[in-house]
Structure 1
Amino acid sequence: MNLGGMEAIAQQVAGKAILDHAKETEQKLDAKLAKLDNMDEDDLDKLREKRKAQLIAAQKIKQDNLSNGHGRYSELPDQPAFFEATKKSKFCKIDAEKSPYLTEKLNIFVMPTILLIKGGHTIHQIRGFEELGGTDDFHEDTLAFVLSQYGVLNFDGEPPSDPTKASAGVNSIAMKMLGKGAARAGAREGDEADY
């Protein structure tokens, strides 16, 4: 079989897979529409109440986050403050040079280091600037995008192509860029709400 014949077969297989997926998606949507068409007033009231409860819960979480300092990226003064903050906050920063116990226990040996912690367990360490474009002049959107890849932050935009330029999409995060030599230890338990 020649190369042209193989490409034609590959296109047919890909086309069939796309068509099958589209049909499956259409069937699911049709089922949801049929379910909505068959709802009576009581069902709609239940659906409204459920959605209202979800919105109220989301607003409470947002208010709690704001009262705990979320939406701000600030440095903690010492190790006891770090432990206290991690009990109620999901994102914080501490200077590694002032925290020898933490740096040893958390295996921080490169500066800067961003420690990503979820559920009380370290899930990743961003050491140095390699994941941030290899430069210390990265834009906060680049940091937000990288953090979102590990599930500790929501980022709803295109991946930054240039780490030093902004791209819209980060969920209302206000971060101060840290100076050279500042270690970053942060992010505890990923949060699905806007920061």
Structure 2
Amino acid sequence: MESMIQQQLLQAAQVVEEQVDAELNRLENMGEDELEKIRERRVQAMKKAQAQKQEWISKGHGMYSELSSEKEFFDICKESTNVVCHFYKNSSFRCKILDSHLSELAKQHCETKFIKLDVEKAPFLTERLGIRIIPTMALVKDSKTQGYIVGFTDMGNCDDFSTEMLEWRLGCSEMIRYKGDLATPPDNRKTAARSFVEKPKKTIRGRDEEDSDDSDFES
């Protein structure tokens, strides 16, 4: 059995080596016209990525900002594809913990708009979304709620979780472009719930939407 395994590993290594050799050979024999096309495609991709980043920045991405009203929340959700909104209270020390992590993540992930809203200034939204625990983060994609992060349970149920742990959790919900391993939480010493709790979702206009798991953010 051991001999068979070794033979299979050698065969697999040989296949990989042959593939690498073939690719190197292709690159070595590539003409100037082909190389120029590859360079041009890379330049265009870089320009497109830079233009997209500038558009996000023009919409206030790249920073963690506080909203002054519910109307501002609706406007942002219409304008940005990915929105993470922290519903908070000044009296909660855990909200302050979350603020520090979100402030850091906002700088790292321009593709997502990170905002916060005082629940006392948003009675309609907090009622409509059924927010009962502070802090709660609403995860909004394409103007529809995708889920909620309630308290710190999903980050190991502790106050000293790392920014990377929250980043991982947001990556699991596809709210950011996560480059790590979604199957393994960064804080290995803590146990994070992988089956995240979802709350029933309702339309903001005040009626349940039949057979729908989304909430429409429309003013």
TM-score bracket relative to the smaller structure: 0.5 to 0.7
Q: Which residue of 2 aligns with 1:87?
A: 78
Q: Which residue of 1 aligns with 2:187?
A: 160
Deviations 1:70-128 (A, max 9, x none): 22112211111011112333322222332232233334332211122223333331111
Q: Could you say which structure has the greater relative contact order, defined with CA pairs below 8 angstroms and 6 or more residues apart?
A: 1
For the pair 1:112 / 2:138, whether they are aligned, the reply is no
- Which whole-Å CA distance do the structure 1 matches of 2:6 and 2:129 have between them? 50
Q: Which residue of 2 aligns with 1:144?
A: 167
Matches within 5 A, 1:15-34: 22-34=13-25
For the pair 1:45 / 2:72, whether they are aligned, the reply is no
Aligned to 1:77, the other structure's residue is in SS state coil
Aligned to 1:74, the other structure's residue is in SS state strand
Aligned to 1:116, the other structure's residue is in SS state strand
Q: Given that residues 78 and 142 in structure 2 are in contact (C-alpha distance below 8 angstroms), is that contact kept between their aligned partners in structure 1?
A: no
Count, aligned residues: 154
Q: Given that residues 145 and 160 in structure 1 are in contact (C-alpha distance below 8 angstroms), is that contact kept between their aligned partners in structure 2?
A: no
Deviates more, 1:119-128 or 1:50-59: 119-128
Please list every run of 5 or more consecutive structure 1 residues that lacks an aligned counterpart in the other structure. Answer: 1-8, 164-195
Q: Alpha-carbon deviation of 1:52? A: 0.3
Aligned to 1:153, the other structure's residue is in SS state coil
Q: Alpha-carbon deviation of 1:13? A: 7.6
Q: Which residue of 2 aligns with 1:103?
A: 126
Aligned to 2:149, the other structure's residue is in SS state strand
Matches within 5 A, 1:65-84: 65-84=56-75
- Which whole-Å CA distance do the structure 2 matches of 1:107 and 1:17 have between them? 56
**Length-normalised TM-score, structure 1:** 0.63
Please list every run of 5 or more consecutive structure 2 residues that lacks an aligned counterpart in the other structure. Answer: 81-111, 191-219
